[in-house]
Chains A and B, each alone.
Chain A
């Protein structure tokens, strides 16, 4: 008996060693290229960094950099709030859009393969440097819009938008404005939801058809089936997609705040201030993701 438990322990130990060997690349990378730079950047954020020839020297300045970010700098607060506001609109809209498209693509119809291929195209089209250039293009489109507006030609949609926003008052108008904002950004949303569609689609395909059949026999309507079967079965993927979308939204290196952080570092060489801003931003990102996933994970339903 004693011998047997010894063997078991040996096996466990062997597993532990093998496990650590397998993940060792990650551990090395994490310590040297993630934690170490992270701590260094935390230290730099409390310092004034002067780049000198052949190195850099730091003087400890306490929380001056953070003070500068929150109270002196004219744009930081504003940009941070704007990022949060963008996220609050973009994330739910992206999730709903992706879910809707996944439902659509999960149905049988002719040419489904082609349609799917096209919907996943944004994964390629909207990656890395493309987004930035596309963004500049949209700037150009904005100019075109202004020209069109000043030349007094009206479109059906703009007139409709005007009527709806003018007639609805107060809260309704604000809500409508959010909706119009989302509609205007539908291209960006479609571009940002390639991965999410795949994830939702994979989830939809794991739901067994016998469940739907049972529901149908019991006389459930399509609406009920959706809320009682489809939605709970996919709820764990909503969490995955939520986290992915929030990260994607925040880490978009073309956002104003990211640009500010990067230019402060590379152009002004103000490593201290740049690190302080980056740290504030990171804390906000981690907090938002933590809170959201905490709230959602309580409501997620796991089938198995």
Chain B
């Protein structure tokens, strides 16, 4: 005999609610209220972050008279591309963009390559004074660049390795006009935020099980080859992530570029100089100073132009920025 279990189904919400002594209703109402509050909160916070960006976009399409028109808030009355044309001209956009692209690419590649090696070394090998050297990595993160930059500046102005160059050329090299000094810094993990990348990459490698490498060693694979053939493909997410961060931070950096590549026109530097150039331009053309509002409008346009490539990159590689970093399992 089959035991037929009788299951009563309650189709109606109110019926079920009655059965649970009103718990269901309370629970559902609470859930919905929570969702509503959360939605409002999330919307508000998103608005907070996005609003300045939207504001800049709307300003950048306005003619100057729209800026003073109190009836114009966000939709320009006289939409124009004039601002973009002028900003591009003032920033020497094409040249600066090209320079920014290749400098940032080169810098971030060098940085990531060096930091991956070092991070792997810290994660996988036991050697004397390891703690001390890792302390040194933390120290490089903590020391303000302003402390060492004047000395570095002089160092590269009169560059010499143990007096060798002076012997050959008769005078020390002045490296400041080229990008060599900064490349040297990046290749030796002393670039912008290099310590942070070492730290992140080390954390990532520590999370990968050792079995793979040991298998490779048993099969007679050398240490460097194991690293390149076995470990590096595994570390793709964190390397991509560090590369993206390095690229973005280099793109917007004006401190190091100003210090070591003052002759080079890159976007970040021409952006911070936009106000001055605009003033000169107005003085030459109209013989007056540009108004504060108009200067701000030009700066906003310039910022958008600088950010646009980064935003596109972010749209394409959003996963690379976020997901891999959250996989790395950062711990102290």
> Shortest Cβ distance from A65 into chain B, in angstroms?
13
Give Cα A12–Cα B137 distance, bound, in whole angstroms: 23
Give the total of A residues in contact with B, Cβ under 8 Å.
Answer: 88
- The answer to whether A70 has its CB under 8 Å from any CB of chain B is no
Give the total of B residues in contact with A, Cβ under 8 Å.
Answer: 85
Contact A124 B307 (CB under 8 A): yes
Which residues from 126 to 143 on chain B have a C-beta closer than 8 Å to any C-beta of chain A? 126-128, 130, 133, 136-137, 139-143
Partner of A22, one of B118, B140, B254: B118
Contact A33 B188 (CB under 8 A): yes
Which residues from 33 to 65 on chain A have a C-beta closer than 8 Å to any C-beta of chain B? 33-34, 36-38, 40-41, 44, 55-56
Q: B258-296, CB under 8 A of A: which get 1 and which 0? A: 000000000011011000000000000000000010001
Q: B215-231, CB under 8 A of A: which get 1 and which 0? A: 00000000100010000
Contact A140 B49 (CB under 8 A): no
- The answer to whether A142 has its CB under 8 Å from any CB of chain B is no
Which residues from 11 to 28 on chain A have a C-beta closer than 8 Å to any C-beta of chain B? 12, 14-23, 25-28
Which residues from 29 to 53 on chain B have a C-beta closer than 8 Å to any C-beta of chain A? 35, 38-39, 41-42, 45-46, 48-50, 52-53
> Shortest Cβ distance from B205 into chain A, in angstroms?
11
Give Cα A237–Cα B140 distance, bound, in whole angstroms: 21
One of A1-9, A150-158, A281-289 at the interface: A281-289
Give Cα A132–Cα B50 distance, bound, in whole angstroms: 18
- The answer to whether A10 has its CB under 8 Å from any CB of chain B is no
Give Cα A50–Cα B3 distance, bound, in whole angstroms: 101
Q: A236-273, CB under 8 A of B: which get 1 and which 0? A: 11011000000100110100001001100100000100
Give Cα A27–Cα B139 distance, bound, in whole angstroms: 13
Contact A253 B322 (CB under 8 A): no
CB-nearest residue of chain A to B313: A124
Contact B125 A18 (CB under 8 A): yes
Contact B189 A124 (CB under 8 A): no
One of B5-13, B15-23, B87-95, B147-155 at the interface: B147-155
> With A41-B148, A123-B321 in contact, do A29 and B189 touch (Cβ < 8 Å)?
yes
Give Cα A19–Cα B38 distance, bound, in whole angstroms: 50
CB-nearest residue of chain A to B121: A22
Give Cα A223–Cα B311 distance, bound, in whole angstroms: 39
Contact B148 A25 (CB under 8 A): no
Q: A180-211, CB under 8 A of B: which get 1 and which 0? A: 00000011001100000011011101100000
Contact A128 B151 (CB under 8 A): no
Residues on B with beta carbons closer than 8 Å to the beta carbon of A44: 150-151
Partner of A25, one of B49, B117, B139, B296: B117
Give Cα A27–Cα B190 distance, bound, in whole angstroms: 10
- The answer to whether A96 has its CB under 8 Å from any CB of chain B is no
Contact B331 A240 (CB under 8 A): yes
Kindly name the residue among B39, B122, B251, B331 whose own CB sees the greatest number of chain A CB atoms within 10 A: B331
Partner of A26, one of B38, B46, B128, B189: B189
Give Cα A291–Cα B50 distance, bound, in whole angstroms: 37
One of A112-120, A162-170, A212-220, A224-232 at the interface: A112-120
Residues on B with beta carbons closer than 8 Å to the beta carbon of A271: 150
Instruction: Report the number of A-B residue pairs with Cβ-Cβ less than 8 Å.
Output: 239
> With A19-B125, A30-B140 in contact, do A38 and B147 touch (Cβ < 8 Å)?
yes
Contact B318 A117 (CB under 8 A): yes
- The answer to whether B107 has its CB under 8 Å from any CB of chain A is no
Contact A125 B307 (CB under 8 A): yes
> With A190-B45, A202-B327, A202-B330 in contact, do A30 and B190 touch (Cβ < 8 Å)?
yes
Give Cα A188–Cα B37 distance, bound, in whole angstroms: 23
Residues on B with beta carbons closer than 8 Å to the beta carbon of A127: 248-249, 252-253
Give Cα A187–Cα B55 distance, bound, in whole angstroms: 14
Give Cα A28–Cα B188 distance, bound, in whole angstroms: 7
- The answer to whether B146 has its CB under 8 Å from any CB of chain A is yes
Residues on B with beta carbons closer than 8 Å to the beta carbon of A30: 133, 136, 140, 188-190
> Shortest Cβ distance from B103 into chain A, in angstroms?
13
Contact B145 A122 (CB under 8 A): no
- The answer to whether B163 has its CB under 8 Å from any CB of chain A is no
Residues on B with beta carbons closer than 8 Å to the beta carbon of A130: 252, 303, 306-307
Residues on B with beta carbons closer than 8 Å to the beta carbon of A18: 121, 125, 223
Give Cα A110–Cα B327 distance, bound, in whole angstroms: 22
Q: 28 pairs across A/B with beta carbons < 8 Å?
A: A12-B126, A15-B127, A16-B128, A18-B121, A19-B127, A25-B118, A26-B136, A26-B188, A34-B136, A34-B143, A37-B149, A40-B154, A109-B39, A119-B46, A120-B318, A125-B307, A128-B252, A129-B253, A129-B272, A137-B296, A187-B48, A187-B52, A190-B48, A199-B330, A202-B330, A239-B332, A240-B331, A240-B332
Given A16-B126, A202-B326, 4 new contacts (CB under 8 A)? A15-B127, A109-B35, A119-B45, A240-B331
Instruction: Spell out A's residues near B (CB within 8 Å).
Output: 12, 14-23, 25-30, 32-34, 36-38, 40-41, 44, 55-56, 101, 104, 107, 109, 115-125, 127-130, 132-134, 136-137, 140, 186-187, 190-191, 198-199, 201-203, 205-206, 236-237, 239-240, 247, 250-251, 253, 258, 261-262, 265, 271, 274-275, 278-279, 281-282, 285-286, 289, 297, 300
In the A-B complex, the 3 residue pairs with the smallest Cβ-Cβ separation, listed nearest first, are A29-B188, A22-B121, A19-B125
